[in-house]
């Protein structure tokens, strides 16, 4: 298997300060102690290409789902993604299968603990995948361009766990508008909850509390990245913790005699949000052709993963391991099955069809959650209007890819 060149970005610091820079309030919250040990930088020597494009001929299709013309010359792109999050897999697949190299793309992958931290470092990367928090922060602060939808959290991807002796668990379910959610309103009030403020996980908590007639002001938020939140929670910190991705399937949470109970999730709430393909303004201005080629290959890789889930799950396991996360292939397979990648056809619909309010689907999948973030106190109405005024959706790239492929 080809080895990818990957650099681990320093990710543990700065989530809260990003929102201060954005002029945002995180409501009632306690900042977690800053960590001093960032992940070590890792790099592997790229394997030689089995077949190199000469810049003049169409790239060999191989097992590509459609033919893709190579760039006229080798171009480097730094691709950012979220650690322990599925959408980064599309670039990894395209790299491992040699598609990027065939198309004259030299890719370096870097990962971040959360979208806001990723956007704070947006000057260091060209393109990437990010969640709703990263999109909003990126557009408002860094003029990030939105290229398409990579995936949606349709299945079990965001969850909150409490200890089994918690009064939330003891209360059982059926007290709010979402009957699957555990606990009475009073049992949630005042709880210390570990979550990454401003992220999709935080939004899931907001929806959970709203279902019980509560707000974020009714609990005490402890802001830390999701990986750190899980570690801290299992070590005894906090009353509840936000968990995402394959960490949900960790044995500590899933074994028969687990000390922890899932008390809420995006699946219970039906609150799944999109993860988007994005580009930095510099890359969009100076590397537009390369950006378009990467987007095409990443979207293709997502479709390939949907159709080859077992092989894709193995690749996800390998990618996470190189990032420093040990996961099980069966857990990754379940994640892929429950959260399929967005297809080219679906992306066309996002950029051509409108919702019941007459808003383009690509825009409403950002603006509607932003309404929630305003209500949460992370953003203001003025910032929502600024987000809409910027209108940083680039529909032409995805629609051109669709026309070429179909």
Q: 15: number of CA atoms within 13 Å, CB side?
A: 29
For 4, the token pair is 């990818």
Q: Which domain holds residue 86?
A: 75-153+272-405
pLDDT at 37: 32
What is the share, in percent, of the chain residues with pLDDT greater than 90? Answer: 67
In a domain, 115, yes or no: yes
105 occurs within a structural domain: yes
What integer is the mean pLDDT of 291-299? 98
Judge whether 33 lies within some domain.
no
| 138 in the same domain as 97 | yes
What mean pLDDT comes out for the span 173-189?
A: 97
Residues 253 and 277 in one domain: no
172 within some domain: yes
Angle at which helix 309-323 crosses helix 329-338, to 10 degrees, equals: 120
Among residues 199, 231, 264, which one ends one of the domains?
264
Which pLDDT belongs to residue 154?
67
The pair phi, psi for residue 379, each rounded to 5°, is -135, 170
**pLDDT score, position 40:** 31
Shared-domain flag, residues 139 and 175: no
- The pLDDT mean for the chain works out to 85
Answer whether residue 98 is part of any domain.
yes
Single pTM value for the model: 0.74
Do 346 and 252 lie in one domain? The reply is no
Do both 401 and 278 map to the same domain? yes
- Which domain-ending residue is among 229, 264, 299? 264
- Domain end residue (candidates: 264, 280, 295): 264
**Is residue 16 domain-resident?**
no
The domain spanning residue 112 has which CATH number?
3.40.190.10
| Position 183 in a domain | yes
Q: Are residues 260 and 278 in the same domain?
A: no
Q: What is the mean pLDDT of residues 322-347?
A: 91
**What is the C-alpha to C-alpha distance for residues 178 and 207, in angstroms, rounded to an integer?**
10
The number of distinct structural domains making up the chain is 2
Task: Indicate whether 61 belongs to any domain.
Answer: no
Banded pLDDT at 60 (limits 50, 70, 90): very low
Q: Both tokens of residue 330?
A: 């069966």
Query: Per-residue pLDDT averaged across 249-266, rounded?
Result: 94
* 131 and 280 within one domain: yes
pLDDT for the residue 31: 38
- For residues 149 and 277, membership in a common domain is answered with yes
Q: What residues contact residue 188 under an 8 Å CB cut-off, 6+ apart?
A: 168, 209, 212, 214, 218, 219
Q: What stretches of 148-225 show up as alpha helix (H) in DSSP?
A: 167-171, 185-188, 200-211
């Amino acid at each position: 298997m080809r080895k990818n060149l990957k650099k681990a970005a320093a990710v543990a610091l700065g989530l809260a300060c990003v929102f201060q820079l954005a002029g945002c309030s995180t409501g009632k919250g306690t900042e977690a102690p800053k960590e001093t040990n960032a992940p070590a930088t890792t790099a592997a020597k790229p394997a030689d290409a089995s077949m190199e494009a000469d810049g003049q001929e169409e790239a060999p299709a191989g097992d590509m789902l459609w033919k893709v013309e190579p760039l006229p010359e080798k171009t480097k792109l730094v691709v950012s993604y979220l650690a322990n999050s599925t959408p980064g897999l599309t670039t990894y697949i395209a790299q491992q299968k040699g598609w990027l190299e065939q198309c004259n793309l030299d890719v370096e992958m870097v990962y971040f603990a959360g979208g806001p931290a990723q956007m704070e470092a947006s000057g260091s990367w060209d393109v990437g995948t990010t969640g709703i928090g990263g999109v909003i922060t990126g557009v408002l602060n860094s003029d990030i361009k939105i290229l398409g939808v990579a995936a949606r959290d349709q299945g079990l991807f965001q969850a909150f766990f409490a200890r089994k002796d918690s009064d939330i668990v003891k209360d059982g379910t059926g007290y709010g508008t979402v009957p699957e959610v555990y606990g009475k309103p009073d049992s949630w009030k005042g709880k210390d909850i570990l979550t990454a403020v401003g992220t999709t996980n935080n939004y899931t908590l907001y929806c959970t509390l709203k279902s019980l007639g509560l707000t974020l002001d009714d609990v005490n938020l402890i802001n830390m990245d999701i990986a750190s939140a899980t570690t801290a929670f299992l070590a005894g910190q906090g009353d509840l913790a936000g968990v995402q991705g394959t960490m949900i399937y960790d044995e500590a949470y899933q074994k028969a005699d687990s000390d922890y109970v899932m008390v809420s999730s995006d699946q219970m709430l039906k609150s799944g949000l999109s993860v988007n393909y994005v580009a930095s303004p510099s890359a969009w201005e100076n590397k537009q052709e390369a950006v378009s080629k990467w987007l095409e290959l990443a979207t293709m890789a997502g479709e390939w993963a949907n159709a080859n889930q077992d092989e894709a799950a193995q690749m996800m396991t390998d990618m996470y391991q190189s990032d420093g996360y040990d996961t099980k292939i069966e857990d990754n397979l379940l994640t892929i099955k429950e959260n399929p990648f967005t297809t080219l056809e679906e992306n066309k619909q996002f950029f051509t069809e409108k919702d019941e309010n007459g808003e383009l689907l690509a825009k409403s999948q950002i603006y509607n959650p932003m309404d929630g973030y305003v209500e949460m106190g992370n953003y203001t109405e003025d910032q929502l209007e600024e987000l809409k005024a910027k209108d940083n959706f680039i529909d032409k790239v995805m629609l051109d890819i669709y026309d070429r492929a179909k």
